[in-house]
């Protein structure tokens, strides 16, 4: 019996690859960069399933090539804005993601960023490594407290809720902005719903946890940054295009806000010559909020299980179309 064919765009999760290889004929792209479009078009025509990463751009041309043969594209991510969902649906190709896995890990990273930027952890580490710690003098490293401060959560989904849980230990007053009222969470955690402008203008820390879509793209730009307090901090662990990076650099340089800590940029990777990299009041990490070993692996296995279910005509765990 001829095995069904699967193409994996990276070999990053060996456990997932081995699981697929036990059942299917699997080809893996072994470069660390995304396969070029012509390769994806070819594989879509030849394979029954493709396992993708969030930086693989799956457009109409690729999906058209897979029409009639490609059953599923399993994205190893929660977000799926890298895939043309409408075109996939029109060609009867199932798209899946990996929800319900990374929330705790991303919430950990959110608080790591809050604490690091507030208490100048990275700034201090850099000073030591550069030989600048020559006398006991704390003045250059005076930071901002986190406990007892106002935290604004923009987007109170699974990750946002986990951030709220962590804030309890810091005795923070928590406010949130969301499209719908979260009555149950308000009662559970004592959080208060506010409009976005009020969140920005009153909170000491503003943390973004919204999906990327036309409504949220450049949600934070010059106008919104201008509403924030000079003593406040912006945290972004969602998607890069949600924040206007040039506007953020201008706000930091002008002292409109105290600092920022971001795990995502637009574009990614950020160009090495971008002026924001010269700013001491920002921490930038390379899109690693979900990158604990356990979570990274679990997301890969979840993507593989979506493929297995689709190719064996079983119920698919997490379809998005």
One-character DSSP codes across 6-63 = EEES----HHHHHHHHTTSEEEE--SSSPPPHHHHHHHHHH-SEEEE-TT--B-HHHH
Check 76, 177, 209, 287 and give the catalytic one: 287
CA distance 126 to 120: 10
CA distance 47 to 178: 40
Q: Match 């997932």 to its residue by tokens.
A: 16
268 in catalytic set: yes
Structure tokens at 57: 């751009």
Check 15, 86, 268, 280 and give the catalytic one: 268
CA distance 264 to 242: 9
86 in catalytic set: no
Check 166, 239, 274, 280 and give the catalytic one: 239
One-character DSSP codes across 185-213 = HHHHH--EE--HHHHHHH-SEEEE----S
Phi, psi dihedral angles at 282 (to 5 degrees): -140, 145
Phi, psi dihedral angles at 207 (to 5 degrees): -115, 130
Structure tokens at 294: 């356990």
Decide: helix, strand or coil at residue 107: helix
Q: Are 285 and 263 in contact, with CB atoms under 8 Å apart?
A: yes
Q: Are 288 and 263 in contact, with CB atoms under 8 Å apart?
A: yes
Find the Cα–Cα–Cα–Cα dihedral 39, 43, 46, 50, rounded to 10°: 180
23: closest CA among 318, 315, 298, 309? 309
78: closest CA among 263, 298, 311? 298
**Catalytic residue positions?**
239, 268, 287
């Amino acid at each position: 019996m001829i095995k069904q064919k699967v193409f994996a765009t990276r070999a990053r999760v060996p456990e997932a690859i081995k699981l697929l290889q036990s059942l299917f004929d699997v080809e893996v792209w072994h470069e660390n960069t995304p396969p070029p479009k012509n390769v994806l078009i070819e594989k879509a025509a030849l394979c029954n399933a493709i396992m993708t990463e969030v930086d693989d751009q799956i457009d109409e041309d690729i999906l058209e090539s897979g029409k009639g043969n490609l059953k599923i594209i399993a994205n190893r991510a929660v977000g799926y804005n890298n895939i043309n969902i409408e075109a996939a649906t029109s060609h009867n190709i199932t798209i899946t993601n990996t929800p319900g896995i990374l929330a705790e890990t991303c919430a950990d990273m959110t608080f790591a960023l809050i604490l690091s930027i507030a208490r100048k952890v990275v700034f201090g580490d850099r000073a030591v490594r550069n030989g600048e710690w020559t006398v006991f003098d704390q003045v250059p490293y005076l930071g901002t407290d986190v406990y007892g401060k106002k935290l604004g959560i923009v987007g109170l989904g699974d990750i946002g809720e986990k951030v709220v849980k962590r804030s309890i230990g810091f005795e923070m007053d928590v406010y949130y902005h969301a499209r719908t009222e979260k009555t149950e969470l308000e009662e559970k955690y004592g959080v208060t719903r506010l409009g976005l402008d009020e969140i920005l203008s009153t909170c000491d820390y503003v943390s973004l946890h919204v999906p990327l879509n036309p409504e949220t793209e450049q949600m934070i730009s010059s106008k919104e940054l201008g509403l924030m307090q000079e003593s406040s901090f912006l945290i972004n662990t969602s998607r890069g295009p949600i924040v206007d990076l040039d506007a953020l650099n201008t706000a930091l340089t002008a002292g409109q806000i105290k600092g920022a800590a971001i795990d995502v940029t637009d574009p990614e990777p950020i160009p090495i010559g971008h002026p924001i990299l010269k700013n001491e009041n920002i921490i930038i990490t390379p899109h690693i909020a979900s990158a604990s070993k356990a979570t990274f692996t679990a997301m890969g296995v979840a993507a593989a299980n979506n493929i297995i279910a689709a190719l064996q005509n079983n119920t698919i765990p997490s379809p998005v179309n």
